């Protein structure tokens, strides 16, 4: 199985990417959106460093934008990283992190997906910087189709195939 990872500056761009995949007929059960979240006044907020946004997006708003498309929405406490907001196919893997079932943290999940450890570290850094990651998994032909859709949309900062 191959994986595409798109790195997005804003929540809106990441959601638009997921919506474009859905509209193009890509099986969204193979798509995940992951971002860092933080606890502010006992409320979870999706963390974003996008310069245009004046306020953080609350988890309810973030979930609302993707809940109709992606299954499995959750907030996970990750030791050493803080909170992650996730929606889609990878939520189960992140839930395992939350309960300590997977050793090695985020890097273990990323490397289990076939992503080189150095690149996995780069993705973890992107999350810490408040960026949004969209993971798309599938067979070669599916991944090629998804890459074309995302590349044409051109909202991402990076688009890598693994």
CB contact at 8 A, 56 and 46: yes
User: How much is the pTM?
Assistant: 0.75
Structural domains in the chain (count): 1
Which pLDDT value is given to residue 53?
A: 42
Max Cα–Cα distance, the chain, nearest Å: 46
DSSP states along 26-41:
--GGGEEEEEEEEEET
CB contact at 8 A, 66 and 15: yes
Which of 30-39, 45-54, 144-153 is most confident?
Answer: 144-153
The rounded mean pLDDT for the chain is 75
Give the count of beta carbons closer than 10 Å to the beta carbon of residue 28: 18
Tell me the residue range of the domain where 40 lies: 2-161
Burial of 70: CB neighbours in 10 Å, binned 0-12, 13-18, 19+? buried
* pLDDT single digits (tens) 36-83: 776 666 665 665 555 434 344 555 545 555 555 565 566 655 556 666
* pLDDT single digits (tens) 102-126: 455 677 777 777 788 899 889 989 9
CB contact at 8 A, 5 and 155: no
Q: Which residue has the higher pLDDT, 70 or 133?
A: 133
């Amino acid at each position: 199985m191959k994986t595409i990872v798109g790195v997005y500056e804003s929540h809106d761009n990441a959601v638009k990417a997921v919506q474009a995949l859905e509209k193009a007929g890509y099986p969204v059960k193979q798509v995940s959106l992951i971002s860092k979240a933080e606890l502010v006044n006992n409320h979870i907020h999706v963390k974003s460093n996008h310069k245009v946004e004046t306020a953080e997006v609350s988890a309810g708003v973030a979930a609302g934008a993707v809940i109709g498309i992606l299954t499995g929405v959750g907030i996970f406490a990750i030791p050493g990283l803080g909170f992650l907001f996730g929606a889609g196919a990878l939520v189960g893997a992140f839930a395992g992190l939350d309960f300590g079932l997977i050793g090695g943290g985020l890097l273990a999940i990323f490397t289990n997906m076939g992503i080189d450890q150095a690149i996995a570290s780069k993705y973890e850094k992107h999350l810490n910087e408040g960026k949004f990651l969209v993971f798309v998994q599938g067979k070669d032909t599916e991944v090629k189709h998804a890459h074309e859709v995302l590349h044409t949309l051109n909202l991402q900062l990076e688009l890598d195939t693994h």
